[in-house]
Structure 1
Amino acid sequence: MASAQSNAAGSIFGTTGEPGATVEIRNVDTGLTRRIPTDSAGRYNASALPTGRYDVSIQREGRVLATQPDVEVTLGGGRDVSFSSDGGSSAGGAVELDRVQVTGTAMTLIDVSSTDTRTTFTSQQLEKLPVGRSIESVALLAPGVVQADSRYPNAASFGGSSASENAFYINGYAVTNPLTNLGSSTLPFDGISQMQVITGGYGAEFGRATGGVVNIVTKRGGNEWEFGGQLTYRPNSLRADSRDIYYPFNGTPNDGLIQQKRSVHEVDSYSYGASVSGPLIKDRLFLYASAEVEQQDQTTVAARPGGSTNGFRQYYYDIPRWMAKLDWNITDDHIVELTAISDVTKNTVDYFPYSYAAGSNDTSRGFEKTGGYTYRDGGELYIGKYTGYLTDNLTLTAVYGEQNQDHIADPFGYDPSIVYVTDSRPVGNPVQRGTYAQLDFPDAFDETKGGRLDLEWRVGDHALRVGYDRQDSTSRAGEVTSGPGYRWIYDRCAPGVGAIPGGGGAVCPGGNGDYVSQYKYANGGTFSVEQSAYYLEDRWQINDQWLLSLGLRNEGFQNFNADGVVYAEQKNQWAPRLGATWDVFGDSSLKVFANAGRYHLAMPNNVALRGAAGSLYTQEYFSFTGIDPTTGEPLGLTALGDGPFSANREYGQAPDPQSVTAKDLKSHYQDEFVLGFEKRLTDTLNIGARYVHRDLKAAIDDMCDYRPAYNWAIGQGMSEDMADQLGNELANCRLFNPGQSNTFMLDDGTGKLVEVALSADQLGFPKLKRMYQGIDMFVERPFDGKWYGRLDYTLSRNYGNAEGQLKSDIGQGDVSQTQDWDHPELMDYSNGYLPNDRRHYVKGYGFYQFSPEWRVSATATFASGRPKNCMGYYPQTPENDDFNENYAYAGPYYFYCNGEPTPRGSQGRLPWTNKVDLGVTYAPNFAGNALEFSVDVFNVFDEQVPQNRIEYGELGGPGGPYTHAGRVISYSNPRTVRFAVRYSF
């Protein structure tokens, strides 16, 4: 019987032909031993096993009948270790002792117990492959995973989803970024034991991802003391020059000029680390500890025209990471694991002047530092886990974790006593004081805490599993005016015009019309999200060949504003999961599988930062009699209005939580269907294929359209003033479900909320659509002591009118608050190929052991290009006059160019991205394989192609020339070389 899957363990199962015998499963490294009786059919199952190597044997009355040594248990996987006789039997049906033999199924790589789609990388593979030392670099080797837009650093898209829709786990605890959902915490790279990339079909145990899951288990100590160290170096001298970015030829004065001189960028990077592991008490208590420090020096040149003041920049990165893990086998039936991880990035950037005309970036020539920052991001993670084999058929696991991360940004030369002053008057020698107008909160942080309980009970042919998990996350983030919390802005109006434009009734002073405004801005707070779920799953082994997985998960999400009040809540979100696998011949040589499921995703904390936080944004206007020559502050102030004015009534108060979102807001959720097979073609070759269909059924975004609420109010017979009030309330951007009917609670101006129910037709938006279809095919040659290789090809189509939580077209990072759904005209012609659509993707990786001393390795990826858009202004026609005058955004944000429709993805594609990485390793015989020297060359052929480009096609109105139209934003990385030395004993 195939047991339930686990996000931090695996299982061994099989048949023995020996009813009533005992199967002993012993961990080779730690001595952990489980003894499982076989059932009346000679079957056995051992679930929730820590990953590692095991010896499996059949025993009866203390005698060993047969043994299968060195069976590797992988993360979340099941290994079929079956035994059989050659046909003879003794009385009572027992197999004759001298006629038992291993069937060999322990060596197959086809896991007939899984119904999901996963790729697992072991530490042994990662040490041998030329791959970047990061979670993202490894994940990109999995089928269906593509690199996200470069404006989302270290992020990836799984199965057509946006880069914020993934979940990351370390030792069973979620470490996804709680503020934005983009990326995750990490750990020393050499501390990874196994890393699993799940791209679809996971069971009811998991949720909170509509993209993919990255699941990591760390290394652990064993009964032998082991020590290791490694050093890597990527010299700038062997790095190819980055491609310069040029202005396109658009008939503008900048045609063909360098927009950013990237060829002078430099990067020197090295890392060093060490590890130790072994028994504190043999067979019972084990330690593993590792640490690494990565240091990097970079120089870059900013793009024109800003390169003149702060253009030359020097970056210094210091990234210390460490982890420690204790494994305590209290008994063979009770295991405790404790993990501590520190992940901190320290970064200093110094700004210097740079002249594009002179091409000068030599700071030794007396250039004065003009600014800079010191950053510190990160903190510590602590995880505890208990596994209890309460009986042969009852297993309990419990996980609890906490994580704290600080985000500190220290600006160079910042003096909080200095008031920032600017001068917009048309006079010479403007007043200017201060360096930083706005600053991030100095005490920003993220923290999470949570845990889960899972109970598995085996009853006959059923493995029943029930569980509960919860994680609470809290983030403090925001921005505030520097200095004492305000700044001064000098300006001039024409005397006699009456009111200052946009001044809220403040009158223009006499004389020459000079005035000053005191500007205050603050936005942010401390926000939290609570996510909880419970699930029930039955893995039913119908017979020796068919396994059916029936699961049901119930999710609940609550988003809190800075006052600790719920502003968005989704309860009782039922997510059915159905999976089936058919072991066609009953020997794990051919598996056909299918699964269908629904998956939900919560909004991260940054949604509250923009949509539910208290915001202060005021200006107060004064005339003045003089200016302090030292501070630049105005003297002799006389108020010109009635006090601080805010056009959007942002006086620091948080909006009513009930008005932030539509009532009964549905969460972001997706339905998925997968059908596939895996086949052991020969003893040294596996093949497989799968079809994936993903359909985004609902999303959360914000809308900012005045008209639906105004028209509704007029239709209800309300006054023009009331309709205007409700329209303005909706125009302040409310969270809703795009393409559906929504009901809003809007302030009528007195603090009373009016319920405004709007149908999909009244809102005017098209139905939400994001559909991913993909066919993944692979061929894999398992490692036989000589060589290993795998080749994947994915043919896919990612189509619709919304990417998901992000908008890669313009690199927008406001998760769940993109520009897309602000008003219906933005969605005209938005249906087409989405930014993460890569029609063809070929991936291959492997290594070949020429001799005990020499090994070569390679990874290669070939991806077709991203679809291109041309975005511009809404057409200027008589029918559109009212919209363009009152509601349209004054920018090129629509799927029109030169007044003509330009549907999404209709402007061709960027070039293919091709990348080949090669490595060679030498392990001298005299060191007894303890010492390795390696050289890896990344992007051997130095193919630097555009990853993205400016999608805006015009400026200043339809047909207006735009200097940057079509300009490349970033190129793929240049060729680099990495040297490494590794020693272990």
Structure 2
Amino acid sequence: MSSSSNSSRRSLGGPLRLSVLALALGGCFASTAALAQSNASGAIFGRTEAAPGTTVHIENPSTGISRDVAVDADGRYRAGSLPVGVYKVAVQRNGQTVDSRDAVQVNVGTSTEVTFAAAAATGAGAKNLEGVSVVASAVPAIDVSSVDTRTVLNAEQLRRLPMPQSVNAAVLLAPGAVNADARYGNAVSLGGSSAAENQYYVNGFPVTNPLTGLGATSLPFNSIEQEQVFTGGYGAEYGRSTGGVVNIVTKRGTNEWKGGMQVLYTPAGLRETEQPTYRPGDGAQITGRDKHSAKLWETTYAAYLGGALIKDKLFFFGAAERIKSENDTYTLSKNTTRSYNTNKTNRWLAKVDWNITDNHIIELTGLSDTASTYADQFVYDGVNDIQYNHKGWRSQKNQGTAGSSPGGQVYVGRYTGYITDNLTVDALYGKERTDHVDLTSGSSCTYFQDNRDSVPPSQRLQGCNISSGIAAPGAYDETNGWHLNLEYRLGSHDLRAGVDHYNVTSLNGSDTSGGVGWFYYDNPASGVIETRGNLAVPPGHSGIVERYVFRAIGQAKVRQQAQYLEDHWQVTDRWLAYVGLRNEQFENLNADNEVFAKQRHQLAPRLGLSWDVMGDSSLKIYANAGRYHLAIPNNVAVRGASGSLYETQWGTYDGAVNTNGTPPNWQPIENVVYANGADGTPPDPRSISAQNLKAYYQDEYILGFDQQFADHWTFGAKVRYRKLRSIIDDWCDDRPFIKWAADHGVNYADPSPACYIINPGQSNRFLIDLDGDGKLEDIKLSKNDIGLPEAKRKYYALDAYLEHRFDGKWYGRLDYTFSRSYGNSEGLLKSDIGQLDPSVTQDWDHKELMLGSNGPEANDRTHQIRAYGYYQINPQWLVSANVLIQSGRPKNCIGVYPGDIPSEINYGASYFYCKGQPTPRGSQGRLPWTYRLDLGVQYAPSFAKNNLTFSATVVNVFDKQTVQSINESGETGSGAPNLSYTQPLSYQTPRYIQFGARYDFSL
């Protein structure tokens, strides 16, 4: 970090020097990034004495990369697109070094300021300073060249802090980051957005889950050099995100061969058991300590090695890790399943860096992330703790939980060329492939469930299936594409332009095990099936049975293209302006490669200002505003554009149920019902979405300051405001089409409701064949015709922080965030019911679902306090801590709508009504505050020359197990009280202790 304050060094450029780009974009409003840095590099800039023959020599001693940068007439210099690392900066005059600075850290996406004393004393109001001395583990206290909102953690910080070794564990250290609903795994919400609206990059290549946008391909933790988290205000180079951006740069080999090995072990015996869960309605115990403790043990083995194949020219770095864990899962109900699970994750990364010359660099990265689970399942009586016969097995590969890593193999090639002192070229091509495997025993058996109350649970028939559905064979996700960026310095302007093109393809979906499912029930006492519109049941039969078939398998593709321009303009010594414009195009295609939704000319202007108030980089005031777009994930096409089949049919049977699950003497009592019109016929691609479909986008505004008040101390605050302007979701209400047909004299041939992709709360235009004559009617429906309210999601926050930069002894940071996230849409997801169907959520399907939907969102945490840091007691001992305190999530009561709704679109207990009364979103109070303290200790014995480190981490020291989410369904589908309403669905992770041993060496 800086040992003293730095002076600014840029002079005012004349009005005529404003670039054509800045003139073209000057009227746009938006946000900014740090001095035109790419998503895998940084920069060094500053000022020195402008004497004849002066240059600045920048060199990374570990890799041999060096650049000589010219000094302009005002003594300014800048070297951009530098690989992250530690550099030496020297001022040379006529080939002789006259001043230098060592250990200058370059971080991803940031600009490090290195000004030399002679120049610092010449600026207006400047102080006589002695330049910059930056330690390798820190960044400058204040970067006056950036106006975005980011958190950067380097490898040393990640190693020292007491937290799980995962990418998202580090993301949660960023202000405003919160854990998403537990049903989405370990996903994170940033800035009030849903957890499916973030973008993840590794060495510049996007690795976000292409099917749902939730989660990303991961990598060995010891291969991470720096992890950068943008929570707002990122520049025009970044797009396709309305949440945040997580940018990871991996380690690379150096001239010194270095390696290491690590073992982490979490014993089950030192992991606390999750607290008991009781059903609120009758007090029945669902889970608890009095049965087997379903504890998980976990072991991680990791290793890395890197060095120079040819000194200063060719380098290699490789890392690998294997994680294995075992646990069992069950509930305490009478008729359940006990599953013994073995989980394995294998990851590797290999990177080759070739410095062809000092001006031409090639990077090749390959990584693999494979997760597999094998589960043995048994019929289990949890109440009496009796395990019955073996039910079957399930083997999954790269399926993952909703928010976990989806796995995959990634290969990236990147070229950086310093063509001249002022022109840099950055080109990348990459490809990712993820194969999904889900195999179960009995997948060819007829699926059935015995739900008869007249039969004791222990005597109910058990099918040979593990799951009602089987995954699509050959399922995969694939991303491939490229980007090209040009950076040019023109006087006081740093210009950057770029284009990218990515194709994202998915084959996914599921089918009914055995082709058909049967659900058996006793004859209803009322004589009617209420959920089917009081369908009458003929008397004199053994019981009723529902026939069920669901098949949704499809291939889909998204074409994503973008172009951007940006200008960082040093207006005066103290004022930096940023103007950027991004243009994006999205096309969604079905299995026949036909476009069914597209958005063109999605212009995203971005503007920012940074004011170096004192002229010495000790106080910065900054502001930015911007627009951000989001692409529709592939899940939409798999669900809605590939000919889904969803049929149900009620009937009666006579006699004992056949052992293979088929009903004896099956007699249907109704015609086949196709839910939402899903009869297996691929829809006309012209009819799937509205013709005037607008993009999903939001606007954001930020105002903040950073202040350095001592050599190692900084504090600051910022206010943020986000407003969702337009969303995309599906709508499944045929009533407006029935009315339109009647008004226009059109015979509506098939009034069964189908679903269409629309902009909720806006007018939409459709092309649909209503009368079955083969011609598409041009149907314009206004906002009032459709009946949906305007989509709303607003987020505002105040973030304040106090930070002590690492001084060789200790590092610490304290953050406080006050925020509100409210509206009638969470975004791509619906955490109220844990629905993972991005852009095809239950919301917006018809207008009654949106009554009472406006209020605090599921990701709203009004107050958040973070504190983390570490203290180096001596060279042998280090202690660390991590504290998180936050207020609870809003609670809802979801039930049956009291008015009339056509039975084909009546969703039962899905409305913001309970007991016939409105229960608006968030009106039922909040869950309790959560408190978590993690502690760590590391010991590096001197006899091993500090190369050997033993560690112990205690997560959740006080074993706080506060409820994180609950069942929010206050009623059953029939309107009766739900006994499970407010039943906890997840708690804080119980206390556990992880032990580690690590050995690092040099060759």
Q: TM-score, normalised by structure 2?
A: 0.88
1:953 partnered with 2:975? no
1:756 partnered with 2:785? no
Does the CA-based 8 Å contact 1:529-1:558 persist in structure 2? yes
Letter of the 2:393 partner, please give it: G
Q: Which of 42, 49, 57 is the equivalent residue of 1:24?
A: 57
Letter of the 2:331 partner, please give it: A
1:919 to 1:754, Cα distance in 2 relative to 1, 3 A: same
Q: CA offsets per residue over residues 97-123 of structure 1, 9 Å max, x none?
A: xx9974237573211111111000000
Question: 2:175 is paired with a residue of what secondary structure?
Answer: coil
Q: CA offsets per residue over residues 532-555 of structure 1, 9 Å max, x none?
A: 100111111112211111000000
Does the CA-based 8 Å contact 1:194-1:217 persist in structure 2? yes
Quote the residue 1:914 is aligned against. 931
Q: CA offsets per residue over residues 302-322 of structure 1, 9 Å max, x none?
A: 363542xx1x22111111111
Q: For residues 884 and 895 of structure 1, what CA distance do their matches in structure 2 show? A: 15
Q: CA offsets per residue over residues 961-981 of structure 1, 9 Å max, x none?
A: 220111111111001101011
Q: For residues 474 and 3 of structure 1, what CA distance do their matches in structure 2 show? A: 34
Quote the residue 2:1000 is aligned against. 984
1:557 partnered with 2:586? yes
Q: For residues 180 and 321 of structure 2, what CA distance do their matches in structure 1 show? A: 27
Question: 1:660 is paired with a residue of what secondary structure?
Answer: coil
Q: For residues 839 and 443 of structure 2, what CA distance do their matches in structure 1 show? A: 36
Q: CA offsets per residue over residues 934-970 of structure 1, 9 Å max, x none?
A: 1110000111101011112223555x32201111111
1:673 partnered with 2:705? no
Q: CA deviation at 1:906?
A: 1.5
1:300 to 1:651, Cα distance in 2 relative to 1, 3 A: closer
Quote the residue 1:353 is aligned against. 379
Does the CA-based 8 Å contact 1:80-1:106 persist in structure 2? no
1:75 partnered with 2:108? yes
Does the CA-based 8 Å contact 2:589-2:597 persist in structure 1? yes
More displaced stretch, 374-383 vs 66-75: 374-383
Quote the residue 1:155 is aligned against. 187
Q: CA offsets per residue over residues 486-519 of structure 1, 9 Å max, x none?
A: 568899999xx9xxx999x9x9999989999986
Quote the residue 2:390 is aligned against. 369
Does the CA-based 8 Å contact 1:83-1:100 persist in structure 2? no
1:917 to 1:713, Cα distance in 2 relative to 1, 3 A: same
Q: Which of 828, 834, 844 is the equivalent residue of 2:857?
A: 834
Higher relative contact order (CA 8 A, sep 6+): 2
Question: 1:143 is paired with a residue of what secondary structure?
Answer: coil
1:360 to 1:747, Cα distance in 2 relative to 1, 3 A: same
1:966 partnered with 2:982? yes
1:832 to 1:305, Cα distance in 2 relative to 1, 3 A: farther
Q: Which of 210, 217, 238 is the equivalent residue of 1:185?
A: 217
Q: For residues 453 and 203 of structure 2, what CA distance do their matches in structure 1 show? A: 62
Question: 2:741 is paired with a residue of what secondary structure?
Answer: helix
Letter of the 1:481 partner, please give it: T
Q: CA deviation at 1:649?
A: 5.7
Letter of the 1:373 partner, please give it: R
Q: Which of 813, 816, 821 is the equivalent residue of 1:790?
A: 813
1:950 to 1:101, Cα distance in 2 relative to 1, 3 A: closer
Q: CA offsets per residue over residues 17-63 of structure 1, 9 Å max, x none?
A: 23441100000211110000100001000000000000000001111
1:750 to 1:479, Cα distance in 2 relative to 1, 3 A: farther
1:805 partnered with 2:833? no
Q: Which of 657, 667, 687 is the equivalent residue of 1:659?
A: 687
Q: For residues 617 and 320 of structure 2, what CA distance do their matches in structure 1 show? A: 40
Q: CA deviation at 1:647?
A: 7.2
5+ residue gaps, structure 2, are: 1-9, 11-33, 399-406
Letter of the 2:272 partner, please give it: A
Does the CA-based 8 Å contact 1:508-1:640 persist in structure 2? no
Q: For residues 120 and 314 of structure 2, what CA distance do their matches in structure 1 show? A: 44
Quote the residue 1:774 is aligned against. 797
* Identity among equivalent pairs (%): 47
Q: For residues 788 and 201 of structure 2, what CA distance do their matches in structure 1 show? A: 37
Q: CA offsets per residue over residues 701-736 of structure 1, 9 Å max, x none?
A: 1111222222223233x25x42x74x54xx312111
Q: CA deviation at 1:746?
A: 2.1
Q: CA offsets per residue over residues 198-243 of structure 1, 9 Å max, x none?
A: 0000010010000000000000000001110111011111111211
1:118 to 1:551, Cα distance in 2 relative to 1, 3 A: same
Letter of the 2:214 partner, please give it: L
Q: CA deviation at 1:624?
A: 12
Does the CA-based 8 Å contact 2:48-2:120 persist in structure 1? no
Quote the residue 2:718 is aligned against. 690
Q: Which of 62, 65, 72 is the equivalent residue of 1:39?
A: 72
1:453 to 1:157, Cα distance in 2 relative to 1, 3 A: same
Quote the residue 1:873 is aligned against. 896
5+ residue gaps, structure 1, are: 94-98, 362-366
1:239 to 1:74, Cα distance in 2 relative to 1, 3 A: same
More displaced stretch, 732-741 vs 940-949: 732-741
Question: 1:136 is paired with a residue of what secondary structure?
Answer: helix
Q: For residues 379 and 870 of structure 2, what CA distance do their matches in structure 1 show? A: 47
Quote the residue 1:96 is aligned against. none
Alignment of 1:403-552 (within 5 A): 403-412=432-441, 414=442, 416=444, 418-420=445-447, 434-435=464-465, 436-483=467-514, 485-486=515-516, 521-552=550-581
Q: CA deviation at 1:426?
A: 12
Q: For residues 996 and 924 of structure 2, what CA distance do their matches in structure 1 show? A: 44
1:680 to 1:510, Cα distance in 2 relative to 1, 3 A: closer
Q: CA deviation at 1:648?
A: 6.2
- Computed over aligned residues only, the root mean square deviation of the Cα atoms, in angstroms, reads 3.3
Q: For residues 424 and 259 of structure 1, what CA distance do their matches in structure 2 show? A: 22
Letter of the 1:460 partner, please give it: G
Does the CA-based 8 Å contact 2:102-2:133 persist in structure 1? no
Q: Which of 749, 768, 772 is the equivalent residue of 1:746?
A: 768
Question: 2:686 is paired with a residue of what secondary structure?
Answer: helix
Q: For residues 951 and 543 of structure 2, what CA distance do their matches in structure 1 show? A: 69
Q: For residues 906 and 41 of structure 2, what CA distance do their matches in structure 1 show? A: 52
Question: 1:151 is paired with a residue of what secondary structure?
Answer: helix
More displaced stretch, 805-814 vs 507-516: 507-516
1:397 to 1:305, Cα distance in 2 relative to 1, 3 A: farther
Q: For residues 40 and 758 of structure 1, what CA distance do their matches in structure 2 show? A: 63
Q: For residues 856 and 492 of structure 1, what CA distance do their matches in structure 2 show? A: 63
Does the CA-based 8 Å contact 2:104-2:133 persist in structure 1? no
Q: CA deviation at 1:524?
A: 1.3
Q: For residues 916 and 47 of structure 2, what CA distance do their matches in structure 1 show? A: 70
Q: For residues 183 and 422 of structure 1, what CA distance do their matches in structure 2 show? A: 33
Equivalenced residue count is: 941
Does the CA-based 8 Å contact 2:321-2:348 persist in structure 1? yes
Question: 2:77 is paired with a residue of what secondary structure?
Answer: strand
1:266 to 1:390, Cα distance in 2 relative to 1, 3 A: same
Q: TM-score, normalised by structure 1?
A: 0.90
Q: Which of 307, 332, 343 is the equivalent residue of 2:369?
A: 343
Q: CA deviation at 1:745?
A: 2.0
Q: CA offsets per residue over residues 413-468 of structure 1, 9 Å max, x none?
A: x364x455778999999987642543111211111101100000111111111100
Does the CA-based 8 Å contact 1:347-1:375 persist in structure 2? yes
Question: 1:353 is paired with a residue of what secondary structure?
Answer: strand
1:425 to 1:326, Cα distance in 2 relative to 1, 3 A: closer
Q: For residues 117 and 947 of structure 2, what CA distance do their matches in structure 1 show? A: 40
Quote the residue 2:238 is aligned against. 206
